[in-house]
Amino acid sequence: MKIYTRKGDKGKTGVFGGKREDKNSPRIECIGTLDEVNSTIGLLRAKLGNDHEWQSNLHRIQKDMMNMMSHLARPSDSKKENQNPRPTDGAEFCETWIDEMENAMSSPSDYFLLPGGNEISALCHVCRTQVRRGERTLVGLMQVDPESVEEYVAAYINRLSDLFFSMARAEMDKHGVAEEKWNLFLYKRKKKN
Protein backbone atom coordinates (compact mmCIF):
# COMPACT_ATOMS: atom_id res chain seq x y z
CA MET A 1 0.00 0.00 0.00
CA LYS A 2 1.31 3.43 -0.92
CA ILE A 3 1.61 6.17 1.70
CA TYR A 4 0.28 8.84 -0.64
CA THR A 5 -3.30 9.02 -1.91
CA ARG A 6 -3.22 12.24 -4.00
CA LYS A 7 -6.63 13.10 -2.54
CA GLY A 8 -5.26 16.20 -0.82
CA ASP A 9 -3.61 17.73 -3.88
CA LYS A 10 -6.34 20.33 -4.24
CA GLY A 11 -6.18 21.60 -0.66
CA LYS A 12 -8.74 19.39 1.05
CA THR A 13 -8.42 16.52 3.50
CA GLY A 14 -10.74 13.86 4.86
CA VAL A 15 -12.41 13.90 8.29
CA PHE A 16 -14.57 11.31 10.08
CA GLY A 17 -17.86 10.65 8.34
CA GLY A 18 -16.39 10.91 4.85
CA LYS A 19 -16.49 14.70 4.50
CA ARG A 20 -13.60 16.70 3.11
CA GLU A 21 -12.48 20.01 4.62
CA ASP A 22 -10.10 22.72 3.50
CA LYS A 23 -6.62 22.14 4.88
CA ASN A 24 -6.71 25.60 6.48
CA SER A 25 -10.13 25.16 8.14
CA PRO A 26 -10.26 25.75 11.91
CA ARG A 27 -10.55 21.97 12.50
CA ILE A 28 -7.53 21.03 10.41
CA GLU A 29 -5.53 24.01 11.72
CA CYS A 30 -6.22 22.82 15.28
CA ILE A 31 -5.38 19.19 14.57
CA GLY A 32 -2.20 20.21 12.74
CA THR A 33 -1.04 22.40 15.62
CA LEU A 34 -1.64 19.64 18.15
CA ASP A 35 0.26 17.28 15.84
CA GLU A 36 3.21 19.71 16.01
CA VAL A 37 3.00 19.60 19.81
CA ASN A 38 3.01 15.82 19.74
CA SER A 39 6.07 15.77 17.49
CA THR A 40 7.92 18.16 19.78
CA ILE A 41 7.03 15.97 22.77
CA GLY A 42 8.58 13.12 20.79
CA LEU A 43 11.76 15.17 20.38
CA LEU A 44 11.75 15.93 24.11
CA ARG A 45 11.42 12.21 24.88
CA ALA A 46 14.31 11.41 22.54
CA LYS A 47 16.50 14.04 24.26
CA LEU A 48 15.61 12.70 27.72
CA GLY A 49 16.70 9.13 27.04
CA ASN A 50 14.77 5.92 27.60
CA ASP A 51 15.32 5.65 31.36
CA HIS A 52 14.19 9.17 32.29
CA GLU A 53 11.46 9.36 34.94
CA TRP A 54 9.21 11.46 32.66
CA GLN A 55 9.09 8.90 29.83
CA SER A 56 5.94 7.01 30.82
CA ASN A 57 3.92 10.18 31.52
CA LEU A 58 5.03 11.80 28.27
CA HIS A 59 4.22 8.58 26.40
CA ARG A 60 0.72 8.68 27.87
CA ILE A 61 0.34 12.34 26.81
CA GLN A 62 1.39 11.49 23.25
CA LYS A 63 -1.22 8.72 23.04
CA ASP A 64 -3.84 11.03 24.57
CA MET A 65 -2.97 13.69 21.98
CA MET A 66 -3.52 11.17 19.17
CA ASN A 67 -6.91 10.23 20.63
CA MET A 68 -7.93 13.88 21.07
CA MET A 69 -6.89 14.71 17.50
CA SER A 70 -8.95 11.75 16.32
CA HIS A 71 -12.01 13.09 18.14
CA LEU A 72 -11.46 16.61 16.84
CA ALA A 73 -11.46 15.16 13.30
CA ARG A 74 -15.13 14.25 13.80
CA PRO A 75 -17.48 17.12 12.88
CA SER A 76 -20.59 17.32 15.07
CA ASP A 77 -22.79 16.34 12.11
CA SER A 78 -20.71 13.24 11.35
CA LYS A 79 -22.66 10.00 11.37
CA LYS A 80 -19.62 7.80 12.01
CA GLU A 81 -18.85 7.25 15.71
CA ASN A 82 -15.24 7.54 16.83
CA GLN A 83 -14.20 4.47 18.82
CA ASN A 84 -10.86 5.81 20.14
CA PRO A 85 -10.57 6.25 23.92
CA ARG A 86 -11.43 9.63 25.45
CA PRO A 87 -8.74 10.74 27.92
CA THR A 88 -11.31 12.50 30.11
CA ASP A 89 -8.99 12.53 33.14
CA GLY A 90 -6.23 14.40 31.31
CA ALA A 91 -6.54 17.70 33.20
CA GLU A 92 -6.45 15.91 36.56
CA PHE A 93 -3.49 13.80 35.40
CA CYS A 94 -1.59 17.01 34.58
CA GLU A 95 -2.57 18.66 37.86
CA THR A 96 -1.30 15.69 39.87
CA TRP A 97 2.02 15.70 38.02
CA ILE A 98 2.35 19.49 38.32
CA ASP A 99 1.71 19.33 42.08
CA GLU A 100 4.30 16.56 42.50
CA MET A 101 6.95 18.54 40.63
CA GLU A 102 6.16 21.87 42.30
CA ASN A 103 6.24 20.28 45.78
CA ALA A 104 9.66 18.76 45.07
CA MET A 105 11.24 22.05 43.92
CA SER A 106 13.35 24.28 46.11
CA SER A 107 11.27 27.43 45.44
CA PRO A 108 7.65 28.18 44.50
CA SER A 109 6.52 29.32 41.07
CA ASP A 110 5.90 33.07 41.51
CA TYR A 111 7.34 34.60 38.34
CA PHE A 112 7.04 34.65 34.61
CA LEU A 113 10.35 33.29 33.35
CA LEU A 114 12.48 33.92 30.32
CA PRO A 115 12.41 30.62 28.41
CA GLY A 116 15.76 28.86 28.40
CA GLY A 117 17.91 27.45 31.17
CA ASN A 118 19.27 24.32 29.56
CA GLU A 119 18.33 22.34 26.46
CA ILE A 120 15.61 20.24 28.12
CA SER A 121 14.09 23.21 29.92
CA ALA A 122 14.09 25.27 26.72
CA LEU A 123 12.44 22.39 24.85
CA CYS A 124 9.74 22.20 27.55
CA HIS A 125 9.07 25.89 26.91
CA VAL A 126 8.78 25.19 23.16
CA CYS A 127 6.17 22.53 24.00
CA ARG A 128 4.41 25.02 26.29
CA THR A 129 4.15 27.70 23.61
CA GLN A 130 3.04 25.22 20.95
CA VAL A 131 0.32 23.97 23.31
CA ARG A 132 -0.82 27.58 23.83
CA ARG A 133 -1.04 28.03 20.05
CA GLY A 134 -2.97 24.75 19.88
CA GLU A 135 -5.34 26.09 22.50
CA ARG A 136 -5.95 29.23 20.45
CA THR A 137 -6.76 27.16 17.37
CA LEU A 138 -8.99 24.93 19.50
CA VAL A 139 -11.00 28.00 20.52
CA GLY A 140 -11.38 28.82 16.80
CA LEU A 141 -12.79 25.34 16.21
CA MET A 142 -15.09 25.70 19.22
CA GLN A 143 -16.49 28.88 17.68
CA VAL A 144 -17.43 27.22 14.38
CA ASP A 145 -18.41 23.72 15.64
CA PRO A 146 -18.72 23.79 19.45
CA GLU A 147 -20.42 20.40 19.66
CA SER A 148 -17.41 18.66 18.10
CA VAL A 149 -15.14 19.68 21.01
CA GLU A 150 -15.80 17.84 24.23
CA GLU A 151 -15.10 19.79 27.45
CA TYR A 152 -12.31 17.49 28.59
CA VAL A 153 -10.24 18.39 25.48
CA ALA A 154 -10.16 22.12 26.24
CA ALA A 155 -9.34 21.48 29.91
CA TYR A 156 -6.58 18.98 29.07
CA ILE A 157 -4.95 21.28 26.50
CA ASN A 158 -5.10 24.24 28.90
CA ARG A 159 -3.48 22.20 31.68
CA LEU A 160 -0.74 20.87 29.38
CA SER A 161 0.78 24.34 28.98
CA ASP A 162 0.95 24.66 32.78
CA LEU A 163 2.53 21.22 32.93
CA PHE A 164 5.30 22.09 30.48
CA PHE A 165 6.01 25.30 32.42
CA SER A 166 6.44 23.22 35.58
CA MET A 167 8.56 20.67 33.73
CA ALA A 168 10.89 23.44 32.55
CA ARG A 169 11.23 24.67 36.13
CA ALA A 170 11.75 21.14 37.49
CA GLU A 171 14.52 20.48 34.98
CA MET A 172 16.30 23.69 35.95
CA ASP A 173 15.83 23.04 39.66
CA LYS A 174 17.20 19.51 39.32
CA HIS A 175 20.37 20.76 37.64
CA GLY A 176 20.83 23.91 39.75
CA VAL A 177 20.21 26.27 36.84
CA ALA A 178 19.01 29.69 38.02
CA GLU A 179 15.68 30.89 36.68
CA GLU A 180 15.75 34.14 34.75
CA LYS A 181 12.77 35.90 36.30
CA TRP A 182 10.85 38.54 34.40
CA ASN A 183 7.80 39.69 36.42
CA LEU A 184 5.91 38.46 39.44
CA PHE A 185 2.62 36.78 38.51
CA LEU A 186 -0.19 39.34 38.63
CA TYR A 187 -2.14 37.53 41.34
CA LYS A 188 1.06 37.49 43.47
CA ARG A 189 1.51 41.24 42.92
CA LYS A 190 -2.04 41.92 44.07
CA LYS A 191 -1.46 39.91 47.27
CA LYS A 192 1.64 42.01 48.07
CA ASN A 193 -0.30 45.30 47.80
Per-residue pLDDT tens over the stretch 19-34: 777 677 899 999 999 9
* pLDDT beyond 80 at 186: no
**What does the pLDDT read at residue 3?**
75
**What does the pLDDT read at residue 190?**
58
14-23, 91-100, 175-184: lowest mean pLDDT where? 14-23
Q: Per the confidence metrics, is the pTM higher than 0.85?
A: yes
Query: What CATH number belongs to 21-73+88-99+111-192?
Result: 1.20.1200.10
In the structure, what pLDDT confidence band is assigned to residue 44 with cuts at 50, 70 and 90? Answer: very high
* pLDDT beyond 90 at 108: no
**What does the pLDDT read at residue 171?**
95
| pLDDT mean over 157-161 | 97
* pLDDT beyond 80 at 128: yes
Which class for 125: exposed (0-12), middle (13-18), buried (19 or more C-beta within 10 A)?
buried
In the structure, what pLDDT confidence band is assigned to residue 15 with cuts at 50, 70 and 90? Answer: low
